[in-house]
Structure 1
Amino acid sequence: MAMHVAPAPSHVPATARHGPEHPVALGCLSAHLGPPGGSAVDAGRTRCGLAVLTALSSRQAAQRRAARRRPRSALQSGESPAPPQNLYQLLGLSAIEAASASVDLLKQRQRALLRVCHPDVAGDGGSAVTSLLSEAVGLLSTSQGRLEYEALLQGESVRNVYGPKMKWPSMADVTFASDEWANVEEEERGEKHAAQECVVVDEVACVSCNICVDAAPNTFDIVDYPGGDDNCSGRRTARVLTQWGDGEEALLEAVEYCPRGCIYWVPREAVRTIEYVSQAEEYQPFLGSKRKILDVRGGKTNFDPIKGYQVWWPVEEGLRLFEGGSLCPEDPVAAAGALGLDERVAAAWEELPAEARAKALDVLATASQE
C-alpha cells in the first residue's frame, strides 16, 4: 500500500503546515623489639609485631576514610534544615528526581526511614510519618498517582495537561537544537528570519530521504527516531540540530523540495516545546502515557497502516502546548516544576521526637550521596 501523509488538521497555523596512607615508624618498632641481628625468636617477634602494626594501621586508615565520607548529623552540623513539605521531600527527592523516581527507589527510601521513624523505634511520635511513608510509596509508584498528587499540591481538582504547571520529566532524553538565528549573515536573511520563524520536522511523517540535509547540511541531519519503527521510514528521521545553521534561501529550498511536506515553519519560541513532544519518552509508542490519557492516537501507533497515513501530529501537539502557554523551559529544575505544600507532612514531621528527626535527616543526607 502506498503510504501518504494526511493533510494537517485545520487548526494548525498555515505557516506551520508549510513548513600505604600513613607510613609506619619502623625504627620505633625495631627499638622496642630489639636490635637487628638478634635471635630467631627476636626476628619472629619483629615480624609478628610488624604484621600486627600494619594491620592496625590499615584498620585505622580505613576508619579515617569512612569518617571522611560519613555525613555529619543534623545536630553535629549546627544547621537547621527545613522540614519536608510534601511526600517527595519526605523521601529526600529533589524536584528533578521526583519527576522520574522508580518504585525501587521509593521503597528503598521508605525502608531506610522506617528504621529510625517507626513507632517501635521512635515511639508514638513516629506513627504519622510511618503512615505517610506508606502513602508516598503507594501513591507515587504510578504515573496516575503522581498526576493526582501533583494536582493536590497545586490545589487543582483536575490536572490540566496543557496548563503552564505541566512537568517535563524526559528533559535529559531530548536533543534540543542550538540556535544560530542571531548569527546569520545579513545577506542570508529574509522574511522568515525577520519574523523569527524556525524550521521543525514532523518526525512521524519523515522517510529520511536526505533531501533537506543536502539542501541545508548545517541545519538538518538524519538521526535515530525515538519511537523505533513507529514512523514512516522506521527508526530514522531528519531532525534540525542547529536552527538557522544555513541561510534563508537554503532553508526555503529544503522546505520546498521535501517530498513528504514534513518540514514546517513555526514561531522561534515554540521550537523547544515541539522538540520535546517529538522526542520525549511519554509521547513515544507504547510508552506514551500522556498520549493515552489524551487519546490522541488511541495509545497505538503514530502511523496507521489501514488508513495509510499518520494519525497524530507531533508538531500540531507541540503548537497546542505553546499556544496554551506551556513552554518547555531551559532550566531542568524549573522543568520539574514546583512541588507545592502538603500540610500533613509538615505536621507529621513535627510530631517526630527531635532525635528521630536528626536521624532521619542523616538517612536522607546519606541517600542523596549515593
Structure 2
Amino acid sequence: MAKYFTLSSILFVAALVVAGCSDQEKQQAAGGAGAARPPSPVSVVIMKKSVQPLTTILSGRAEAVQSADIRPQIGGVIKEVSFREGGFVKAGDLLYKIDDATYVASVEEAKAALEKAEASVPSAAANVQRYERLANTGATQKDYETAQATLLEAQASVAQARATLQTAKINLAFTEIRAPFDGVTSATNYSIGNLVTAGQADALMTLRKINPIYIKLNESSVNLLRLRAAIAAGNLKNNAGDVDKADIRLTMEDGTEYPSVGKIDMSEMAVSTTTGTVSIRTLFDNPQNLILPGMYVRATITVGEENGFAIPQRAGSRNAEGFLTAKFVNADNKVETRTFASSKLSGNNWLVTDNVKDGDKLIVDGFQWIGDGATVKPIPSEVDAKGLVIQQAPATEAPKS
C-alpha cells in the first residue's frame, strides 16, 4: 500500500535535521578551540663556563707484555703434561716432562769418564817429579819433557770429562720444561706419548704475561702534531706539558669503564706510510685479568684542559659542512639553532668557546620533534656521566608565616 506524507510531517523532519546540524557545528567549534596545543616541554641545562678536560678517543687491541712459544731443547717422548690449559702458572712451574732415562744414563757415563780421567793425573804428576830429581843423574831432557806432556794431557782429559758431565746434566735438566715467567698458558699442541725434537718448528704451547698488559693504539700523525703544538703554545693546561704523560681510561667491549688508569709506555718515532698513523703502546695494570690479549677496547686519552662550555654529545649534531650545531631556548622561550665553527672533544661532551655565554639554555632532550621558532617550556635538567638526562626537582616555596 502506498504511503502518503502530509506537509506538516515533512516540515517536522526538516526542523530536526537543521537542529542536528547546528549542534554538530557547535561541537566542532568547541573541539577546535580545545585543540590549541600548549608549548612543548624540553629539558635544558644552563650553560656555565668552566675548565674542562680535553680528550681524544682511540681504538686499540690488547697485547701481552711478554709472550713465549715454548719449544723443547732436547729430543724425547713427552712423559707428563703438568699444567692446566688456559690456566695461570708461576715462573719455574713445571710445564712438560720428557722421558729422562737415556739422559740419566748419559750423566752416569760422564761421571765415570771423569773419574777415570782424574785417576790418571796423580801418576803423571809423579813421573814429572821423578824426572826432575833424576835430571842430574843421567835422565835425558826428552824423558822429562815427555812426562810433562803426559801430565798436561791427563789434566786436559779431566777438563774434557768435566765439561761432558756438565753437558749431560744440562740435557737432563732440559727434560723438565718450566715456565720462564708468570703468565697464562694456551692449549697444548702435544700430549703424553708424543715425540719431540730439539729446536722443532712447532711450539708445544704459548705462554703469555698479561699483568700488566699492553694496549696498542693508533693515532693520526696530524692529530698528534696538533696536540703537541697546542701544548707547546700553552693552549692546554697539562701539568707535565707532554702528551706522553697523559692519563688514559679504557672502555671495554661491553661498554663498561675499566677501573684502572693507564699511561703511555712507548710511541713509535715513525709514521706508517700506508695508514699515516703513529703506533702508541699504553700500559695498564690487569690484576683481575679482565683484559685478555686480542680484546678490542676504546681508549680515552686526557691530553690537557681548557676553559670553555661543555655541550653533551647527545645535544649536538653536525651540519652538512661538518660543524657542530645545537639548539637553545632564547629569552622568548623560542627554539634557535646555533653553529660552532670550532669544537673539541671533552669526554662525553663537546667543548666550545664561542657563540654561547653563561646562563644560556641548551636543549638536551625533546629537541628532536621541534624546529626553530617553536615556543617551548624549558625544564631545568642535568646530564649524568652516562649521558642520561635527569630532570631537576622543582624548588619548593618557603611556607608562609
Q: TM-score band, normalised by the shorter chain?
A: under 0.3
* TM-score, with length taken from structure 1: 0.26
Q: Is the strand fraction higher in 1 or 2?
A: 2
Larger of the two Rg values belongs to structure: 2
* TM-score, with length taken from structure 2: 0.24
